[in-house]
């Protein structure tokens, strides 16, 4: 292979990036020197030694020096540049799948270079694809070379130079007292930062890469401590706001007492405990922001109903918003049965009701005649004006976008609140947070024009403890941690798709005994990219396979009226088998349904599988959930299915979901694009979370100057943590 003689095709000029280095740094949020010192490496490259070519092994990064002995730029069948580099011990191939003229100039025969990259096995021996090429025989660095997160046009050398200058400019004094650092067994901040930016070769490379090195532990602790301190400040800021006090009526004739007397069941101790927590919050002068979490079927609705009745008894309106019409209607029907005998008008408002019905509903809401309003995001439309909204309840809050949740509570805030409000970043993006200038009603006394509604959010997806202590530490959390008596355990079976006929036999048998069946599919119509059994195809196939039984179909694309009619028929046992997408994931309560088939279960998330399984086991019959999967399974899918098989505890499921996926997906839109923790890992750093939480409490009580100093370092340039 000799040097190419043919004329190369003209290569387009390398695109120029006209942004300045300062502008590129700002894209990364690096505005000041303190920002730069906390911009820590993703990984490290060992450029402290030159390796003989004969010692190289595939799959490992290596740095070598040698002379180019061959070079070739070819253009057919595809464009590439190849070269052979030789040292005293052997030869290795270099290859660029795309290249520029200056790279071809570099690889002229006889030139000597230092080359670094991952060694791979090629057709003609070892090779390095797209190697890093630098000047040979230059001094070797004494420390590992950091590789930083970067942006288009900002090279690693430029970034390293900027960070190196910042390290010389910034005073790396500790924000924490030496005694506290020693008691916690942490490195000093200065030592940790300098180590992470320039670790020596003898340091534990694995610990640096896995973020378990003592230097990483100090940085992760500081980050978690800053988060805990900022969330505590958010709680304090919220307590300076005003809400209407909603006293509990303890008389035997109160609305709460009358509802409890009418129910065919008694509250569990867990339900009584969380009801008392919510009741106490409603009686305070500052707004309640409480998350009510409980496993599938734990009885959150009756707890929410009692909170609503306390508010209504105190003279204000209540709004309950659900993410889907199916779930909203489930709440409406149940609450209507409970509330109308108490003389309370319950109003229904969704996007699908007729213009006439919407006009009547809006009138009932704006005049205050409707004391409880249940609906979907139609509640946040501009035409909806509440007369005296005092409590907002949002079910399955994680399924709403941030703007939707904000807009509902916006309905209850008084105009004068604009002059006193200071929202926090976590308040504004995580809960149904109140904003200013939204309730356009008249006739209320002026002294009440600066209060905002209480907020109660509900979720059937329990929050793992470490997540609750970090991203949800700015609100109160109530947990219903036991199920009501009578809930039958659901048997979970993992069955391969090749045994489909066997599953059909179980479906026919269940129908023959009078039981009803769910059959859930991940898609509505055929996808060209995913070979999944669709809901439409499955409905047709089951209708043919079960001619003696009625098979229904419901999915999100159906017209609302048709969807409601199908669900009503299923509840009334007119449909034996309901083929559905995940629209029945939450809120559907049909006690006679005892068999759940989840098609392509490997495609669903763990929390979603658990929610779907919770649709059965609500009656007295033995219930079964079949996870019908298609092989081959990925490792993640295998772990999810194993978790479903091994436990029915929603809190354990949530913890495993956190371990498998990390906090990003579990938080949903709570973050609204804001970065999660940059360095700490909630799946592995739970001990640091506990230590940071305890330290934050201690520092706020004894050392406000340390709190201020620590937040100044960690929140610089990240004001979105502190304000919306």
Which DSSP string do the residues of 155-190 spell out, in sequence order? -HHHHHHHHHHHHHHS----SS-HHHHHHHT---HH
CB 674 within 8 A of CB 720: yes
**Comparison of pLDDT for 411 and 23, the residue scoring more:** 23
Percent residues over pLDDT 70 in the chain: 85
Give the tens place of pLDDT for each residue, 382-434: 778 889 999 999 887 544 443 343 444 445 454 433 333 223 323 323 333 33
Map residue 673 onto helix, strand or coil: coil
CB 411 within 8 A of CB 319: yes
Q: What is the CA radius of gyration of the chain?
A: 31
The lowest-confidence range among 335-339, 412-416, 539-543, 686-690 is 412-416
What does the pLDDT average to over 77-95?
A: 92
Extents of the domains making up the chain: 49-140, 169-238+692-721, 255-480, 490-647
What does the pLDDT average to over 9-23?
A: 63
Q: Which of 593, 577, 699, 581 is nearest to 233 (CA)?
A: 699
Domain covering 255-480, topology: Rossmann fold (3.40.50)
User: In this model, does residue 16 exceed pLDDT 60?
Assistant: no
CB 107 within 8 A of CB 68: yes
Please state whether beta strands 372-375 and 551-554 pair in parallel, antiparallel, or not at all (unpaired).
Answer: unpaired
How many Cα neighbours within 13 Å face the side chain of 281? 25
DSSP assigned state of 42: S
> Phi-psi region for residue 153, left (φ > 0), alpha (ψ -120 to 50) or beta?
left
- Joined together, the tokens standing for residue 675 give 């970065």
Environment class of 185 (CB within 10 Å of its CB; exposed 0-12, middle 13-18, buried 19+): exposed
Map residue 570 onto helix, strand or coil: helix
Q: With cut-offs at 50, 70 and 90, classify the pLDDT of residue 62.
A: very high
Percent residues over pLDDT 90 in the chain: 51
**Comparison of pLDDT for 271 and 653, the residue scoring more:** 271
- Total Cβ atoms within 10 A of residue 442: 6
User: In this model, does residue 260 exceed pLDDT 50?
Assistant: yes
Residue 450: per-residue pLDDT: 65
Please state whether beta strands 80-86 and 91-96 pair in parallel, antiparallel, or not at all (unpaired).
Answer: antiparallel
Q: What gap in Å lies between CA 411 and CA 159, rounded to an integer? A: 47
Identify the helix (H) or strand (E) that includes residue 332. helix 325-339
Residue 527: per-residue pLDDT: 63
User: In this model, does residue 499 exceed pLDDT 70?
Assistant: yes
Strand order in the sheet with 454-459: 346-349, 372-375, 317-321, 389-395, 454-459, 289-294, 476-480
Outline where 461-559 has alpha helix (H): 465-470, 500-512, 535-545
Residue 483: per-residue pLDDT: 76
Residue 452: per-residue pLDDT: 86
Give the tens place of pLDDT for each residue, 131-184: 999 999 889 988 888 999 998 889 999 999 999 999 999 999 999 999 999 999
Task: State pTM to two decimals.
Answer: 0.69
What does the pLDDT average to over 300-306?
A: 95
What does the pLDDT average to over 440-464?
A: 65
Give the tens place of pLDDT for each residue, 174-222: 999 999 999 999 999 999 999 999 998 889 888 998 899 999 999 999 9
What does the pLDDT average to over 674-701?
A: 85
Q: In terms of CATH architecture, what is 490-647?
A: 3-Layer(aba) Sandwich (3.40)
Contacts of 127 (CB under 8 A, 6+ apart): 92, 93, 94, 95, 119, 120, 121
Domains 255-480 and 490-647 share a fold: yes
Contacts of 569 (CB under 8 A, 6+ apart): 552, 575
Q: Which of 369, 358, 454 is nearest to 409 (CA)?
A: 454
User: In this model, does residue 8 exceed pLDDT 50?
Assistant: no
Residue 584: per-residue pLDDT: 74
| Average per-residue pLDDT for the chain | 83
CB 467 within 8 A of CB 448: no
CATH, domain 49-140, list 2.40.40.20, 3.40.50.880, 2.120.10.30, 2.40.50.140: 2.40.50.140
Residue 430: per-residue pLDDT: 33
Residue 446: per-residue pLDDT: 35
What does the pLDDT average to over 71-94?
A: 91
Outline where 368-464 has alpha helix (H): 402-410, 425-430
């Amino acid at each position: 292979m000799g040097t190419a003689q043919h004329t190369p095709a003209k290569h387009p000029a390398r695109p120029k990036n006209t942004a300045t280095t300062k502008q590129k740094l700002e894209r990364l949020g690096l505005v000041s020197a303190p920002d730069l010192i906390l911009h820590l490496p993703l990984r490290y490259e060992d450029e402290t030694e030159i390796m003989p070519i004969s010692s190289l092994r595939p799959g490992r990064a290596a740095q070598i020096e040698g002379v180019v002995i061959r070079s070739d730029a070819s253009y057919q069948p595809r464009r590439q540049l190849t070269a052979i580099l030789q040292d005293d011990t052997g030869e290795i191939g270099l290859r660029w799948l795309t290249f520029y003229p200056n790279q071809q100039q570099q690889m002229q025969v006889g030139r000597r270079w230092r080359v670094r990259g991952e060694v791979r096995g090629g057709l003609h021996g070892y090779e390095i694809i797209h190697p890093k090429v630098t000047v040979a025989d230059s001094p070797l660095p004494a420390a590992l070379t950091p590789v930083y997160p970067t942006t288009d046009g900002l090279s690693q050398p430029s970034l390293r130079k900027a960070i190196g200058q910042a390290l010389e400019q910034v005073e790396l004094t500790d924000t924490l007292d030496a005694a506290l650092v020693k008691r916690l067994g942490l490195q000093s901040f200065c030592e940790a930062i300098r180590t992470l930016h320039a670790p020596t070769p003898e340091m534990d490379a694995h610990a640096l890469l896995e973020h378990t090195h003592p230097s990483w532990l100090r940085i992760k602790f500081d980050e978690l401590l800053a988060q805990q301190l900022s969330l505590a400040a958010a709680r304090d800021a919220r307590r300076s706001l005003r809400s209407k006090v909603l006293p509990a009526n303890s008389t035997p004739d109160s609305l709460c007492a009358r509802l409890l007397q009418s129910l065919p069941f008694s509250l569990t101790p867990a339900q009584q405990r969380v009801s008392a927590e919510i009741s106490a919050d409603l009686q305070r002068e500052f707004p309640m922001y409480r998350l009510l979490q409980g496993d599938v079927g734990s009885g959150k609705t009756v707890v929410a109903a009692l909170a609503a009745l306390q508010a209504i008894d105190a003279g204000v309106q209540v709004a309950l918003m659900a993410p889907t019409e199916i779930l909203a209607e489930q709440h409406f029907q149940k609450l209507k049965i409970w509330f109308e005998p108490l003389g309370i008008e319950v109003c229904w408002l969704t996007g699908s009701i007729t213009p006439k019905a919407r006009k009547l509903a809006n009138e009932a809401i704006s005049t205050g005649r409707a004391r409880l309003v249940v609906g979907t995001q139609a509640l946040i439309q501009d035409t909806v004006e509440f007369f005296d909204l005092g409590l907002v309840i949002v079910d399955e809050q994680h399924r709403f976008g941030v703007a939707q949740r904000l807009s509902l509570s916006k309905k209850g805030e008084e105009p004068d609140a604009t002059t006193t409000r200071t929202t926090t970043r976590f308040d504004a993006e995580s809960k149904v947070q109140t904003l200013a200038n939204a309730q356009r009603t008249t006739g209320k006394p002026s002294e009440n024009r600066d209060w905002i509604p209480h907020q109660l959010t509900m979720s059937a997806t329990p929050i793992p403890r470490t997540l609750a202590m970090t991203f949800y530490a700015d609100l109160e959390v109530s947990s219903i941690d036991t199920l009501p008596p009578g809930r039958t355990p659901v048997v979970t079976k993992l069955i391969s798709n090749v045994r489909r006929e066997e599953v059909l036999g179980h479906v026919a048998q269940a129908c023959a005994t009078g039981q009803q069946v769910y059959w859930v599919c991940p898609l509505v119509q055929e996808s060209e990219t995913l070979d999944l059994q669709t809901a439409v195809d499955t409905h047709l196939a089951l209708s043919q396979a079960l001619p003696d039984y009625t098979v229904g179909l419901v999915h999100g694309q159906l017209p609302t009226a048709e969807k409601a009619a199908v669900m009503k028929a299923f509840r009334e046992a007119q449909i034996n088998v309901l083929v559905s997408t995940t629209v029945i994931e939450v809120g559907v309560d049909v006690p006679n349904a005892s068999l759940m088939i989840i098609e392509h279960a490997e495609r669903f998330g763990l929390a979603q599988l658990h929610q779907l399984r919770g649709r059965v086991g609500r009656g007295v019959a033995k219930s079964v959930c079949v996870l019908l999967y298609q092989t081959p399974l990925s490792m993640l899918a295998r772990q999810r299915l194993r978790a479903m098989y091994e436990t029915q505890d929603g809190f354990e499921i949530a913890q495993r979901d956190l371990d498998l996926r990390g906090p990003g997906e579990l938080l949903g839109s709570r973050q609204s694009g804001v970065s999660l923790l940059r360095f700490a890992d909630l799946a592995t750093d739970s001990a640091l979370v506990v230590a940071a939480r305890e330290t934050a409490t201690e520092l706020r009580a004894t050392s406000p100057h340390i709190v201020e100093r620590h937040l100044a370092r960690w929140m610089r340039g990240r004001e979105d943590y502190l304000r919306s």
